[in-house]
Amino acid sequence: MESTQKMSYQITLSDKRGAKHRRAAARFVGAARRRLLDALADHPEITQSDIARELGVNRAVINRQLRGTAPMSMTRCAEIASVLGCRAEVSFIEPRKMVGDNAANAHPDFLQDDPLETPNSSFRAYYTHSGNYRIKGASNEPAVAEPGHGYFKVISASLPQMEFGL
C-alpha cells in the first residue's frame, strides 16, 4: 500500500512476491483474448454457439471466457483458434536492452510541449513536425536523431556523432 502512495509515477501496485510476474501474465492473457476476438471477427460465419458445439461446452462458457469473466486456459485458447481454422502460436520475446525503433512512433500530439520520457533511460525523445525525432541526453543539449538499429543514432552537428545505448 505504501508503495502505491509514492507513485511519482511508475505504478507500483503491489510489492508482494511474484506480483510482477502476475502482472506480466495478466498483460499476456489480455492480449491473447483480444487476438482471439480478432480472429473471431475475421470469421463472421462462425458464432460462439458454433464454437461451443464443436468443443462440447455450453455457449455461456465460451462467452464468459472471451469476455474475461472466466479463466482462459492455453488449451481453450488453442481449441477456439482451431475451430476458427487458425493455429495458435506463442512467442517468447527477450526485451532489447536498448531503445528500439518503436520509439520513433511515439504519439506526436501529446509530445509537443511535453516530451515523453524514453522508458528506462535518462534521455527524452519527442517528435517534431518536420518528421525528425529530437532527443535530449544527459547534457540537456538537443540533438536531431534518427532511428538506428535498435537505438537512436545522433546525426546532429551540434554533438559529435554518437550512439545512445542503454
- Residues of the shown chain interacting with another protein in the complex, contacts defined by CB under 8 A: 1, 4-5, 7-11, 13-14, 16, 20, 22-23, 25-27, 29-31, 34, 37-38, 41, 64, 67-72, 95-100, 102-103, 105-107, 109-110, 113-114, 116-121, 125, 150, 166
CA nearest neighbour of 128 among 149, 143, 148, 150: 143
Q: Closest approach of Cβ 157 to another protein, in Å?
A: 26
Q: Closest approach of Cβ 16 to another protein, in Å?
A: 8
Q: Are strands 152-154 and 142-147 parallel, antiparallel or unpaired?
A: antiparallel
Alpha carbon distance 151, 138 (integer Å): 16
- Whichever of 38 and 160 has its CB closer to another protein, that residue is 38
Q: Closest approach of Cβ 107 to another protein, in Å?
A: 5
Alpha carbon distance 63, 55 (integer Å): 13
- Whichever of 142 and 147 has its CB closer to another protein, that residue is 147
Alpha carbon distance 153, 100 (integer Å): 11
Whether 59 contacts 52, CB under 8 Å: yes
